Every structure is written in C-alpha cells, then in structure tokens.
C-alpha cells in the first residue's frame, strides 16, 4: 500500500482526531484529492484514540483484504512452508473466500453473520500487548510485534472445520503454541491454559450491541492438548499478516477441533489448576463441550457431523466426508482414548 506524505500544515494532529465529524471531513477532503480510502488506511493520520463510533461505518474497508493492518510486522514473510503439514487431498481455499466467510461475533451479531470484514474498520490490532498470568514463574506482558519478530515463522497448510459443517483449507503463518508456552514458563502444577480475547466495545460493533454474550470471548485447553505439535499460533495467512476478520493480530489454530476452539484476537494467556470455562459451553452447554474434537461419529444435537461443505472458491462448494479428528488422527489419537470410533448419538464432550 502506498505511503502518502502529507503536508504537515494540513495533517490533523492526533488530538484533533476526536470526533467522527473531523474524520468525515478528512475523508471528504481526501476524496476530493482522489486519495480516497486507500489514503485513510495508511498509518499517518489514522485516529488511534478510538474516539469515533465503531458503528459509524465511516471507516468501512473497501474489500476483505483491505483489513490487513498496515502496522503488522512483515519481517519473515512469506515464511518457509513446513512440509509436514500439507493437505494433499484438497485444494487450498481461495483466500478471498477464507477472508469473506467468517465467524467473529465481536464484529457482527445480526444480519449476514458471515460477512464480517465490512465491520472491522474501527478495530486497531497494533500495537498489541499479550499478558501471561496464573500459574507461571512470573507474570509477563509482551509487546506483540516484538514477540512476533523474535519467533521463527513457518507456514502450515491445515484443514479447518467449523462445527456448523463448513470447511476450508488454509496456509497459516505463525509458530507452534508449545514455543509460546515455553516462554510463559508455566509451573508444573498448571493443568490447563485459558485464552481471553479482546474486550473493546468501542471498536467492535457486535460486542457493543450483543449484551447477551458473556464478553470477552474465552477458550481453554488441557496442557497436553496445548503442547501438541499441531497446536499453532497464527499471525498470518496466505503469506501475509492476518486480516482483522481472521483474528488479527493473533489467533489459535487447532485443526483437529471445531473452529470455535480457536480464539481470535487474544489478549491474555492464563495457566490454571482446573478446567477453564469456555464461551460457547457457557452459552449452550447442551450443544458445545470442552473437548469439541472433530468427529463424524458424534452428531451435533441439531445436525449431522458426518460430512461438510468444503468451500474452495466463491460459489464453489462440495459435500465431502468428515474425518475423525479432521484427518489428524495420528497426531492426537493418544490424547483421547474415549473418542467414539463408531457412530454414536449426540454426546457433548
Ligand atoms: N474472539 C473470537 N474468536 C473466534 C470466534 C469469535 O466469534 N470470536 N469464532 C470462532 C468460530 S465459531 C470459528 S468457525 C472461527 C472462524 O475463524 P475464521 O473466520 O478465521 O475462519 O473462529 C473462532 N474464533
Ligand atoms: Mo465455528
């Protein structure tokens, strides 16, 4: 994206960027110069004081890839592909599909729930801090950009399966969750890890309006699950930093579990001595369990999980059989001796 050098005489100072009107005037002015929203998306005069309304629509991005933050670190991109994690039997999903068919209730909770990206304009993913709390040698708070730059990034192509029975295949960029956990220095008595997501109703229109959800979003894993080789922290996809609707600036990817076990826009990691609560389980315990492993033998109480709609390109979808642990049996079967291997009735696990 082009960097536009502005004449300091008419560059708005941060302090002047306090009202929606000021922002609007600036946009109209830019439009008159033919700079439009591309210029608004560059760093120089983006308001960082969050004073504008998240639901104003004034900052609406132009398209699903217009939401990759300009200030996301790009060192190490595109990262080398890890040959151990490819999906030979399916094509990689078109990146426009993966970034325009999403679930992210902080941004939208009514209407077309999958069309998330147009509602992400006010959300600022950088700078970002990540807190480490609970059963650890000492509490830590990291600047995420520094953390990302200190990690070896790799690319992994994973199957992704939502509990709603749609699926995609995605090349993620990031690092193993185990590497992050090592840096957290958890005490041996920690049995679980809980992840807490962003809580900023002024930047998140869904969060601002959906009071029936127990915000912020939270998820959790057993320690042995979190340390599994497959558990991945994604900071990018398709060779670039994550778009906001896909979880910028960081999210978990646990390809053997249903998508909702992978929290997006994480702000805190907390090590605990008991099984943590999880967002969807709190809301609908009769439908969503703690483990939530992908399993074609265990139907959701309201639909079958035996097959899935594979989304490859816009308007192209194919019904394919769902595999146990989403095809990751050999990595995770030892963790779950009780996972049903033959068709069963609905069991919430
Ligand atoms: N913070 C947060 N994380 C979240 C969600 C959410 O609403 N909020 N939705 C979950 C669900 S249900 C799915 S299927 C995946 C979707 O990820 P994607 O949109 O990048 O494909 O994110 C998961 N993580
Ligand atoms: Mo999902």
**How remote is the CA of residue 102 from the centroid of ligand 1, in Å?**
7
Nearest CA to ligand 1 atom 20: 246
**What's the pLDDT at 60?**
84
Nearest Cα to Cα of residue 261 among 222, 213, 303 = 222
Read off the pLDDT of residues 241-276 as tens digits, 9 standing for 90 and up.
Answer: 999 999 999 999 999 999 999 999 999 999 999 999
Structure tokens at 124: 């600022």
CA-198 nearest atom, ligand 1 = 1
Rounded alpha-carbon distances, angstroms, from residue 60 to 99, 114, 288: 15, 16, 33
CA-102 nearest atom, ligand 1 = 19
Nearest CA to ligand 1 atom 15: 259
CA–CA gap between residue 335 and residue 314 (Å, rounded): 36
Nearest CA to ligand 1 atom 8: 104
Read off the pLDDT of residues 123-164 as tens digits, 9 standing for 90 and up.
Answer: 999 999 999 999 999 999 999 999 999 999 999 999 999 999
**How remote is the CA of residue 263 from the centroid of ligand 1, in Å?**
6
**How remote is the CA of residue 103 from the centroid of ligand 2, in Å?**
6
Longest dimension (CA), the chain: 71
Enumerate residues lining ligand 1, CB below 6 A: 102-106, 162, 197, 217, 246-247, 259-260, 262-265
pLDDT in tens, the chain (349 residues): 233 333 322 223 332 333 323 333 444 344 444 443 433 333 333 333 333 344 444 478 999 999 999 999 999 999 999 999 999 999 999 999 999 999 999 999 999 999 999 999 999 999 999 999 999 999 999 999 999 999 999 999 999 999 999 999 999 999 999 999 999 999 999 999 999 999 999 999 999 999 999 999 999 999 999 999 999 999 999 999 999 999 999 999 999 999 999 999 999 999 999 999 999 999 999 999 999 999 999 999 999 999 999 999 999 999 999 999 999 999 999 999 999 999 999 999 9
CA–CA gap between residue 23 and residue 13 (Å, rounded): 12
Distance of CA 40 to the CA centre of its chain: 24
CA–CA gap between residue 327 and residue 329 (Å, rounded): 6
The pTM of this model reads 0.86
């Amino acid at each position: 994206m082009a960097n536009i050098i502005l004449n300091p005489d008419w560059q708005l100072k941060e302090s002047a960027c306090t009202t929606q009107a000021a922002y609007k005037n600036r946009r109209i002015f830019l439009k008159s110069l033919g700079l439009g929203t591309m210029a608004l998306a560059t760093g120089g005069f983006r308001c960082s004081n969050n004073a504008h309304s998240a639901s104003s629509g004034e900052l609406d991005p132009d398209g699903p890839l217009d939401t990759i933050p300009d200030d996301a670190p790009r060192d190490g991109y595109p990262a080398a592909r890890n040959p151990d994690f490819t999906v030979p039997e399916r094509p990689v999903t078109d990146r426009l599909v993966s970034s325009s068919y999403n679930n992210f209730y902080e941004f939208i909770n009514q209407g077309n729930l999958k069309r998330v990206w147009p509602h992400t304009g006010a959300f600022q993913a950088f700078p970002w801090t990540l807190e480490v709390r609970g059963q650890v040698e000492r509490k830590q708070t990291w600047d995420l950009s520094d953390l990302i730059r200190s990690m070896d990034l790799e690319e992994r192509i994973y199957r992704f399966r939502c509990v709603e029975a749609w699926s995609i295949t995605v090349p993620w960029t990031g690092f193993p969750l185990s590497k992050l956990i090592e840096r957290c220095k958890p005490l041996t008595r920690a049995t679980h890890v809980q992840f807490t997501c962003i809580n900023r109703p002024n930047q998140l229109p869904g969060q601002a309006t959906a009071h029936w959800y127990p915000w912020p979003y939270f998820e959790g894993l057993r320690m042995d699950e979190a340390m599994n080789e497959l558990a991945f922290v994604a900071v990018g996809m398709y060779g670039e930093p994550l778009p906001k609707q896909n979880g910028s600036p960081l999210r978990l990817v646990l390809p053997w579990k249903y998508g909702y076990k992978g929290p997006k826009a994480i702000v805190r990691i907390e090590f605990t001595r008991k099984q943590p609560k999880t967002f969807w389980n709190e809301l609908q315990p009769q439908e969503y369990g703690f483990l939530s492993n992908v399993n074609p033998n265990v139907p959701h109480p309201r639909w079958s999980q035996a097959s899935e709609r594979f989304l490859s390109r816009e308007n192209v979808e194919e019904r394919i059989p769902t595999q146990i642990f989403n095809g990751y049996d050999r990595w995770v079967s030892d963790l779950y001796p009780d996972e049903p291997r033959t068709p069963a009735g609905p069991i919430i696990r």
